[in-house]
Structure 1
Amino acid sequence: MSVSGKRILVIGGTSGIGLGIAQAATAEGAHVTVASRTPDKVSAATSSLGHGARGQVLDTGDHQQIETFFSEEPPFDHVIVSAASTKVAAVRELPLADALASMNSKFWGAYRVARAARFMDNGSLTLVSGFLSIRPKKGAAIQGAINAALEGLTRGLALEFAPVRVNCVSPGLIMTEMYDSLGNDARRTLFDGAAQRLPAGIVGKPDHIAVQVMAFLNNPYMTGSTVYVDGGGSLV
């Protein structure tokens, strides 16, 4: 049970959770390809990963680009989709166009990849949702709905794609670049407050999510599963 020598594609693998997964897979000896729609991020990520990592400019909103990419690539052993661009606000405050774009990015982006991807025998697909799917938050109904839809898609795909395995990791609050715009003081207040509330007593890091994703890739007896890595956030 090892990804050493396996071909792994991490879509959204140039920052945050995706980059953490790419780093973990590279450390285990996998041949990693990271994909993002931003060329500069792709270049920076492949340079930082080293070890023969490849980069690919890929927009999960462009179905034709995704179809072409997978038709020209040999099948992958494992594909992970962590790419998403969403906006969150109360239903009556979030512009409908932003709500539709959020669903199109995170849910339909993963759906497009699943539809087009080709896998080796004993391969797997891993999606990334979020614990708001089961722990609703006032003002974030759209995010919870998108995450729940991804988890439902995971279960259906696990049946359709068998013996290719399909799983989903559902993170809680994770310290990523997404919060850099808050500024140091606001970010520290956010994370310190969350750590005090969470049963685990800490805020998550991309490494913590990567541990679970690597378990999905390495464990041939896991499919159709959603695992919540949220520090106990779904309980409080």
Structure 2
Amino acid sequence: MQAGNLKDKTVLVIGGSAGIGLEVAKIALELGAAVHIGARGKTGADKLSGATYHVCDAKSDASLQALFETIGKVDHVAITVHESAARLGIDTTADKMNLAAVMEYCDGKFLSQYRVIQAALPHLAADGSITLTSGVASRATMANHSTISAVNAAIEACARQLAKEQAPRRINVVAPGVTATTTYDAMKPELKEQFVQKIAALVPLKRIAAPEEIALAYVFAMQSGYVSGTVLDASGGQLVA
């Protein structure tokens, strides 16, 4: 296998209409891949020349099955779907936690990724890869993140098991730190700014991430044929802060 060669490979990005996923799609296109983007709505994806856009919902088995039947064989799948913890109000302490909202978060982030895996496997190349998304809260202690960290940790634990189960296909996870995406837009502007400043002060690099920086980790997971069952941290050093 030629390291770094995505030319003529088929890459699917689920959740690729904006943010990190859109940046993954852009890089894959630059590297010569045939890029497909699956998302619930159009933002930047429909403006990405060269990519094929598909409307799909990772919460729907039927929608995902139809997507993969349309695309056919896939070499690499990157899954960047998420739910906003701020929108759901689960970035709070245990005594105030709404468990119904936690279940919605789990469905949107963990189970949606698992649904994509199930739909992808019949179409995934024998030497293909799937890259999931967790978050730095899986292993970093952060205020008001008890359920958020649990969901992220579940994704990482699942990937380790799948990497063995599905070998020689490769399963990896990218664990981003706080990134400048729409994830935190549900917060009041002043609270969002306080949160960003707090994280930036904590992280050794003294800033939050840009989406294109995190996207490089997904592309590395596709390119490196000897990386599997691995969590790629892109947290600015937060885990050693």
State the match for 2:39 in structure 1.
36
Moved more, 174-183 or 11-20: 174-183
Aligned sequence identity (%): 30
The amino acid that maps onto 1:174 is T
Contact conserved, 1:17 with 1:206, CA < 8 A, in 2? Answer: yes
Contact conserved, 1:129 with 1:170, CA < 8 A, in 2? Answer: yes
Please state whether the residue corresponding to 1:194 is helix, strand or coil. Answer: helix
State the match for 1:151 in structure 2.
156
Please state whether the residue corresponding to 1:85 is helix, strand or coil. Answer: coil
Which ranges in structure 2 are unaligned for 5 or more consecutive residues? none
Confirm whether residue 161 of structure 1 aligns to residue 158 of structure 2.
no
* TM-score for both structures, normalised by structure 1: 0.90
With over 3 angstroms needed to count, the CA separation of the structure-2 counterparts of 1:55 and 1:151, relative to structure 1, is same
State the match for 1:119 in structure 2.
124
Contact conserved, 1:86 with 1:105, CA < 8 A, in 2? Answer: no
- The structural deviation recorded for 1:25 is 1.0
With over 3 angstroms needed to count, the CA separation of the structure-2 counterparts of 1:65 and 1:181, relative to structure 1, is closer
Confirm whether residue 70 of structure 1 aligns to residue 68 of structure 2.
yes
Which ranges in structure 1 are unaligned for 5 or more consecutive residues? none
State the match for 1:219 in structure 2.
224
- The structural deviation recorded for 1:33 is 0.9
Moved more, 67-76 or 204-213: 67-76
Please state whether the residue corresponding to 2:217 is helix, strand or coil. Answer: helix
Please state whether the residue corresponding to 1:163 is helix, strand or coil. Answer: coil
* TM-score for both structures, normalised by structure 2: 0.88
Deviations 1:99-154 (A, max 9, x none): 11110110000111111102113210000100100013231111100000000111
C-alpha separation in 1, matches of 2:143 and 2:51: 41
Count of residue correspondences: 231
Confirm whether residue 25 of structure 1 aligns to residue 23 of structure 2.
no
State the match for 2:80 in structure 1.
82
Moved more, 9-18 or 59-68: 59-68
Moved more, 147-156 or 72-81: 72-81
RMSD between aligned residues: 1.9
Moved more, 190-199 or 162-171: 190-199
State the match for 2:112 in structure 1.
109
